[in-house]
Structure 1
Amino acid sequence: MDGEESFRAYVAGRIAALSRAAWLLTGDQHQAEDLVQLTLVRVARHWERVSAAGDPEPYVRRTMYSQHVSLWRRRWRGVDLRADPPEQAMPDGTAGVARALVVRAALARLAPRQRAVLVLRFFEDLTEAEAAAALGCSVSTVKSQTRDALARLRTHAPELAELVGIGAAAGEER
């Protein structure tokens, strides 16, 4: 196998693990993809030497970590530190966090099947038939579980109605 073929085979076999490691380093999917790409470009330049030395994994990992630190340092140097803060206010993200916590707590109050039905129907946006197929039950079971789960949420988590701005008549089905 020539150098290019062995490099392609290595990348095909290790891309998932490298992507996972890059995501754990960066915490962002797009930055992780960039990091993997930069790492593989750098490794490809020296692949003949790296692959001839034996296992290329330690070299690739070390290159990835070095690239991550280099990118981090470049971004850090680009920060403009001033005594006066900028006039533009940053958007307040606390409402989104509060909403996520309320929804998570409300879903935790439901039975597992009710929670699964709501997630499939409203988060995954599946039809009743698709949700029934995913859960291995009938469409009527999905309908009844949805009805019961929504009724339970209305009773035990009224803060959800306030959170999404639904008025007092929210208890009625639309």
Structure 2
Amino acid sequence: MRRRSEADFTEFAEAALRRLRRTAYLMCGDWHRAEDAAQDALVRIYRAWDRLDHEAGLTTYAHRAVVSVVLDQAKRPWRREFSDDAVPDQLLADHSGAVDERLAVVQALTGLPARQRACVVLRHYADLSIEETAQALGISTGAVKSQTSRGLSALREQLNRPAPDQADQADATAVPVTTNEGVLS
């Protein structure tokens, strides 16, 4: 790789790492696995750097790489255990009161099938268009629409159930599914 290309890659990696790590976390629900997935995705991007379309497809390729890495990790037998690690302190500094909602959404995301989870995360967290999501996942736009719809319906169903300790309370309130970055970030 040429010196200028390495400088460009380093600049891209520094700008993209946090977003890739957060996307990976929403896909797998574990910060350690998310860190590994983001790093592995950057390795894949580095290897293909000179062949990539830097004008149009770099972000899409990065999301495709991180989703692919997370799905590959999930297939490994030693990665199938779910971690109950706490969310890092820097994310808990949310003073708006949305932390509980965000954690509930992240927990509910882990219950979705991988394809639905990927579509919901890429569409509503990473803010990719339907076409960009289809390209990142290697599926049709119709599949993105249907998987996203099914995923959001499943999230609504999961999040509108009262918690086990609230099941006996008649006035248990439902948690709405909000897909803006304020809840999923």
TM (norm. structure 1) is 0.41
Which protein has greater RCO, CA pairs closer than 8 Å, 6+ apart? Answer: 2
Q: Which of the pair has more CA radius of gyration?
A: 1
TM (norm. structure 2) is 0.38
- Give 1 or 2: higher helix fraction: 1
